[in-house]
Structures are given as C-alpha cells and as structure tokens.
C-alpha cells in the first residue's frame, strides 16, 4: 500500500505523528519479514539483548522472565493486532500515544522500547513519561537504529542506508514512503551520546551506551 502524503507532511526525516502512524498501519502485515531481510537477520539478535510494534521484542522478555504485569503500548491498531496474535493473553496491549503513557506513576520495574525512538516527536516529554512510569531505581532501555562511528564504517554503511534500504524496502513492501522514512530518520537521528545527555536532563542516571554491530544499532540504558 502506498501512502499519499499531504505537502505539509512530506518531511520524511521527521514527519507528522499522524503520518508515522499511517506508515506503521500500512507496513504492519509484512513488517517482521521485511525487517529480517533488510537487517540480514541481525534485528533478532539486537532485540534479544534488550511502541510494542508486532510484539516480538516484548515476547522475548516474557519468555525469559515472569512479570507480574507486562504491557505494550502502540498507537497503530494493525501493529497491536499482530502483537495480540503472538503475545500471551495476560499481556496488556494498549492503543495509545507513548507521549502520554496510560499507566499510573511508578507502575513498572522496566520500560523498554526497540526501534521506536526515531518516531518520537518530543523526546524530553517521552523520557519524562518513561521516568514517571518507572518505580524508583527502575530501568529504561532503548534499542535504536544508529550509524557507525568509525569513518570506514560510515563509508561502507552510507550506500546501504541511502540506497539499498529505501529501494529494497520500498520494492518488497510496495510502500516507498515507509522505507524512505526509515532511511531518513536513521540519517537524522542524534548520535547516542546526545540521547544520553537528554536522558540525564530528564533525570536519569547511570547511563550506558552500548554500540552493537559496529554501531548500526545501539542499546542505551538508564536508571531512574
Ligand atoms: C519501528 S517500529 C518498532 C516496533 C517494535 N518495537 C520492534 O522492535 O520491531 C516503531 C513502532 O512504534 C510505534 N509508534 C511510533 N510513534 C508512536 C507514538 N507516538 N505512540 C505510540 N506508538 C508509536 C509505531 O506504530 C511502530 O509500531
């Protein structure tokens, strides 16, 4: 499905929230398969280290440990529909905007998000919400698609990011807009140390930044 974007919404490095939701609604049915292909199966490994999307990331957590309450939030109905099929029935799935986490304060020991920070329009507000939802000394973990730090890595990664990703992703998904957004939002995403500073400003401490696979993905962890 191809999206038609209104002229005011066509900045795909940082599109409007509604455009982002439309993109994920449209790609939901083939999201996991295309991810695997585009990341050469690396996405599975990245997730195992750390919006709920189709639920794969949360599912891995639930397999490893039993939690009293597990919840996933996403504003895309089709993404949540996929998640419902794969997650245990007692896992709460809520359709909501993560800028306003619909849970009471100090409800969670751990808040995780994978590959979602690029879509967040107001990171200070989101981080404040994550902190509010965490119990004292609770942990937040953000798995992000980033860019290699070494010059050689950047040179090798640039053609993949700028050409392969939008072209192959667009071709297979038949949704060029979604994969242009993926490519441009990674190109424009702040370097992880900057995210670390933002987390500090939001009141987090013990910030750990761990690059994965030469820095094309990064796990950022912080304590309340
Ligand atoms: C790139 S997908 C990642 C999905 C999943 N976490 C994974 O690891 O595959 C980003 C998800 O975040 C959701 N999302 C983006 N912005 C959001 C917002 N403001 N509120 C709620 N969900 C949001 C999208 O609908 C999408 O399902």
Q: Residues 126-158: pLDDT tens digits? A: 999 999 999 999 999 999 999 999 999 999 999
The residue whose CA is least distant from atom 5 of ligand 1 is 53
User: Which residue of 39, 44, 53 sits with most ligand 1 atoms within 8 Å of its CB, as the best mutation to test the pocket?
Assistant: 53
DSSP labels for 50-116? ---TTSHHHHHHHHH---S--EEEES-HHHHHHHHHHS-TTSEEEE--TTS--S-TT-EEEEEEES-
Segment 1-53, tens digit of pLDDT: 334 444 444 577 778 888 999 988 988 888 877 777 777 767 666 544 436 67
The reported pLDDT for the residue numbered 5 is: 43
Other CB atoms within 10 Å distance of the CB of residue 124 = 12
Q: For ligand 1, atom 8, name the residue with the nearest CA.
A: 114
**Is the pLDDT reported for residue 94 higher than 50?**
yes
Q: What percent of the chain has pLDDT over 70?
A: 90
pLDDT at residue 117, as a whole number: 94
pLDDT of the residue at 48:
40
Q: Residue 40: helix, strand or coil by DSSP?
A: coil
Residue 185 CB less than 6 A away from ligand 1? no
Integer Cα distance of 90 and 31 in angstroms: 24
| Residues whose CB is less than 8 angstroms from the CB of residue 107 and which lie 6 or more positions away in sequence, other chains included | 69, 133, 135
Give yes or no for residue 75 CB within 6 A of ligand 1. Answer: yes
Between 52-66, 81-95, 103-117, the lowest mean confidence (pLDDT) is in 52-66
Would you state the structure tokens that stand for residue 193, as one six-digit string? Answer: 């140390």
DSSP label at residue 121: S
Closest atom of ligand 1 to 116 CA is 10
51 lines ligand 1 (CB under 6 A): yes
- Cα of first residue to Cα of last residue in the chain, in angstroms, is 41
87 lines ligand 1 (CB under 6 A): no
pLDDT tens digits for range 41-87: 676 665 444 366 777 778 877 888 888 888 899 999 999 999 999 88
Domains of the chain, each with CATH number or no CATH:
11-223 (3.40.50.150)
- Weakest mean pLDDT among 47-51, 114-118, 172-176, 214-218: 47-51
Task: Give the range with max mean pLDDT: 76-80, 141-145, 163-167, 195-199.
Answer: 195-199
How far does residue 30's CA lie from ligand 1's centre (Å)? Answer: 14
43 secondary structure, DSSP code:
H
DSSP 140-179: EEEEEE---SSHHHHHHHHHIIIIIHHHHHHHHHT-HHHH
**What pLDDT is attached to residue 44?**
63
Q: How many other C-beta atoms can be found within 10 angstroms of the C-beta atom of residue 207?
A: 18
Read off the pTM: 0.89
Cα–Cα distance, 224 to 199 (Å, whole number): 10
Closest ligand 1 atom, CA of 79?
27
Q: Which residues pair with 141 in a beta bridge?
A: 112, 221
116 lines ligand 1 (CB under 6 A): yes
**Which has the minimum average pLDDT: 27-36, 99-108, 118-127, 173-182?**
27-36
* Antiparallel, parallel or unpaired: β 92-95 and 71-74: parallel
Q: From residue 85, how far is each of 55, 61, 111, 205 by CA, in Å?
A: 9, 16, 22, 36
């Amino acid at each position: 499905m191809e999206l038609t974007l209104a002229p005011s919404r066509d900045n795909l490095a940082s599109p409007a929230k509604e455009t982002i939701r439309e993109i994920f609604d449209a790609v939901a049915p083939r999201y996991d398969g295309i991810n695997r292909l585009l990341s050469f199966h690396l996405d599975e490994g990245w997730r195992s280290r750390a919006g709920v999307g189709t639920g794969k990331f949360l599912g891995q957590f639930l397999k490893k440990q039993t939690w009293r309450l597990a919840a996933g939030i996403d504003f895309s109905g089709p993404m949540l529909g996929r998640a419902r099929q794969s997650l245990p029935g007692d896992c709460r799935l809520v359709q909501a905007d993560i800028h306003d986490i619909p849970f009471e304060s100090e409800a969670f020991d751990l808040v995780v998000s994978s590959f979602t920070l690029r879509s967040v329009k107001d990171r200070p507000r989101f981080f404040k919400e994550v902190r509010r939802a965490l119990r004292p000394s609770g942990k937040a973990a953000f798995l992000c698609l980033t860019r290699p730090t070494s010059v050689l890595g950047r040179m090798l990664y640039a053609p993949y990011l700028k050409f392969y990703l939008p072209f192959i992703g667009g071709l297979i998904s038949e949704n060029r807009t979604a994969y242009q957004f993926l490519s441009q939002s990674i190109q424009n995403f702040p370097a992880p140390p900057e995210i670390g500073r933002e987390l500090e400003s939001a009141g987090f401490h013990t910030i750990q930044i761990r690059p994965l696979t030469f820095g094309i993905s990064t796990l950022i962890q912080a304590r309340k």
